[in-house]
Structure 1
Amino acid sequence: MPEELGREECDELLREMGSGVLSLTDGAETYAVPMSFGYDGGNLYFQFVYDEDSRKASFIESTDVSTFTVYTETPPRSVVVRGTLEPVTDDEALAAAALSKNAVIPSLNVGPEESVDDLVFEFYQLSPEEITGRAFEMFAASEE
């Protein structure tokens, strides 16, 4: 039976992890994206990189409530954050600082036919409405 994690344990896991999976929806389909993130104890921050025809961008615009999940395998734990995903408009330095503390920064996935000049770089924040976490028992594999 899973054990519920308290808020402090959820915050700790969010500060330890540098990436997770962001789930978006357009009302009919879902779109799950592996993302690096920063966490300042209140909001989660992301930096999106996309072009004007991006599927990710269209899902960002149509999603009312986003879900972000982080997890570890040893020990098995997970945290799910649900809330509103919005562009950072007031303090990009705050977003950059949070990302620099714990985000795993991947290399840009830019193909030779794309120019970095044609890409949009935007900071977004996920304002949590709900943060839940669980810890699971480890089971040893049985030999048959």
Structure 2
Amino acid sequence: MTGRQRDPRRFGRQGVGVLGLANGRDPYLIPLSFGFDGDSRLYFTYLYDDESRKRELSDRAKATQFLVYEASSPVDWQSVQLMGRLGEVPSDEWDHVGSAFEKAWHPTLFEEGPYTTDVTLYEFEIESRSGVVRKPQQRSNGDSLESPRITVLGYCGRLER
């Protein structure tokens, strides 16, 4: 397994994942597009109104999780679960994180405006990560074997560059 296969940075091109926030005893899961700084931070653009549950839970979250996955086929898939802290980015710092969104995927909602909601930017600082990779095993002639190989990846600490 190469470092590139294990590295969540390659999921930056995926551009969408699921943010998990605590909501009492039940999880609150939100599909979100994201920007990635290539190192240790994800960025999310929130569109919200005054009664936004997403913003309320994000603002009081002590720890959060984010799941990014890619599934090419039933025997060729991988996922990375990121654990970290979430915080609002002050509007005067938005220009500093703009490059993280250069290759980010966005739903057409961002271009459809005008907005009847507010917009803000959140930063997810990655503290640890883990993942699973399932790839078909290849015979020497290139044919796939019946049983795929599953590799469980466990990491702690910051992402390496």
**Normalising by structure 1, what TM-score?**
0.77
Structure 2 partner of 1:16: 13
Whole-angstrom CA distance in 1 between matches of 2:131 and 2:77: 11
Aligned pairs for 1:1-144 (under 5 A) are: 6=3, 9-40=6-37, 41-74=39-72, 75-89=76-90, 91-101=93-103, 103-108=104-109, 116=115, 118-138=116-136
Instruction: With a CA cutoff of 8 Å and minimum separation of 6, indicate the structure with the bigger relative contact order.
Output: 1
Please give the root-mean-square deviation of Cα atoms over the aligned residues, in Å: 2.6
Structure 2 partner of 1:112: none
Number of residues paired by the alignment? 131
Deviation of 1:69 after TM superposition, in Å, equals 0.6
Are the counterparts in 1 of residues 59 and 88 from structure 2 also a CA contact under 8 Å?
no
Deviation of 1:120 after TM superposition, in Å, equals 1.5
**Normalising by structure 2, what TM-score?**
0.70
Q: Name the % identity.
A: 30
Deviation of 1:6 after TM superposition, in Å, equals 4.6
- Larger proportion of strand: 2
Deviation of 1:76 after TM superposition, in Å, equals 0.5
Deviation of 1:131 after TM superposition, in Å, equals 1.8
Whole-angstrom CA distance in 2 between matches of 1:6 and 1:93: 31
Stretch moving more, 92-101 or 125-134 = 92-101
Whole-angstrom CA distance in 2 between matches of 1:66 and 1:124: 12
Deviation of 1:31 after TM superposition, in Å, equals 0.8
Whole-angstrom CA distance in 1 between matches of 2:40 and 2:9: 12
Deviation of 1:12 after TM superposition, in Å, equals 3.3
- Distance change >3 Å, CA 7–CA 63, structure 1 → 2: farther
Query: One-letter code of the match for 2:6?
Result: E
Query: One-letter code of the match for 1:53?
Result: E
Please identify the structure whose Cα radius of gyration is greater. Answer: 2
SS of 1:91's partner is helix
